[in-house]
Amino acid sequence: MIAWSRHHVQSGAAALRRLARAPLALSLNVLTVGIALALPLGGYLALENLARLGEGAGAKPQLSVYFALDAGEADVDRVRAGLREAAGVRAVRFVGRDEALRGMQQDAGLAEILAALKTNPLPDVLVADLATEAPEAAEALAARLQALPKIDRVQFDAQWARRLDAALRLGRLALGLLAGLLAVGLVTVTFNAVRLQIVTQRDEIEVAKLVGATDAFVRRPFLYQGAAIGGLGGLAATAIVLVASLLLDAEVAQLAQAYGSNFRLRTLPAGEWATVLVFAGIIGWSGAYASVSRHLHTICPA
């Protein structure tokens, strides 16, 4: 076990020394991986910010429950409790009839009309903020609520929610396809980078195989080399996206301020950046594994 661990450390150090001996080739490979990963990563970040912009502008699906004028507090509490437990409901707020009337009285055009009324004609309302990912579930929830007693009307813009959900799903699907295609291309980049290194060490590999070295023993330094190229490419991708976000954020903030908004671009949390680095390392490792496995059989056929 100690010898196995020591060889892993030695293999990793040897891989880094090989990469350091060819800085130009390393830089080109890392830059290729970084740019390719930055495309879907930047697209994902843009999609998330667009979704936030839509929600911040009030473009989020809502379900409004209008109670009958004779509905009591117990009726409101019962429906509110059911909404809070329903799937896809993010938040529920209550707008009382008196509060709604005071809000309308502040409108100069309605103040005189409302003053002439002897009673408050407005109902109590529960407003539920909904998740955008499940318009079908929201429709079913609206139908169930409409059937309850003391409910006058349930309002839900199903068509708008479907369009928003379809747009988000289309964007995510397009990003997934792009990421998959680029991942295949990055495996090829690592495959070729490691292949060149294998060719330069062909004699050394043949001698190692003759004295009893296993395929895993020979393969290990190249796997670390591929993982290092992928990981450094992941770092390059995060740097590209972060710099682009910082450059765009100032312009976006000025544009948002012109519309009376304080919207700013959101960057990814640390956990998602770490996922990008791990994913990049796995891509590099996969390309190296495929390259070494292919050329080991060429150098020392069974």
Q: What is the pLDDT of residue 144?
A: 87
pLDDT at 109: 57
Strands (E), 14-150: 62-67, 89-95, 125-130
What does the pLDDT read at residue 220? 81
Domains observed in the chain? 2-56+164-299 (no CATH), 62-156 (3.30.70.3040)
Cα distance between residue 199 and residue 192, in whole Å: 11
Question: Angle at Cα 14 formed by Cα 10 and Cα 20, nearest 5°?
Answer: 150
Divide the 302 residues of the chain into consecutive groups of 10 and give the mean pLDDT of each group. Answer: 62 66 79 89 85 63 85 87 84 82 62 63 83 71 86 78 74 87 86 79 71 72 85 91 87 77 80 87 87 71 50
CA 272 to chain centre: 8
Q: Residue 240: its pLDDT value, please? A: 92
What distance in Å separates the CA atoms of residue 290 and residue 194, rounded to the nearest whole number? 10
Where b means 16+ CB within 10 Å and e means fewer, 95-109 reads: bebeeeeeeeeeeee
Record the pTM.
0.63
DSSP 126: E
pLDDT at 116: 60
Q: How many residues does the chain have?
A: 302
Task: Please state the φ and ψ torsions of residue 154, each to the nearest 5 degrees.
Answer: -120, 125
Residues 6+ apart with CB under 8 A from 26: 19, 20, 229, 232
Tokens at 40, concatenated: 């879907």
Query: pLDDT at position 237, please?
Result: 92
- Tokens representing 194 are 């490691």
Tokens of 66: 């209008």
Q: What is the per-residue pLDDT for 55?
A: 62
Return the closest-CA partner of residue 56 out of 45, 48, 67, 44.
48
Instruction: For residues 299 and 294, give the distance between their C-alpha atoms in angstroms, rounded to a whole number.
Output: 9
pLDDT value for 289: 86
Burial (Cβ within 10 Å: 0-12, 13-18, ≥19) of residue 283 = buried
260 Ramachandran zone, left/alpha/beta (phi>0; psi -120 to 50): left
User: What pLDDT is stored for residue 23 in this prediction?
Assistant: 76
Q: How far apart are CA 114 and CA 188, in angstroms?
A: 72
Q: Round to whole Å and give the CA distance between 64 and 53.
A: 22
Res 142: pLDDT:
84
Cβ(64)–Cβ(260) below 8 Å: no
Taking only Cα atoms into account, the Rg of the chain, rounded to an integer number of angstroms, comes to 30
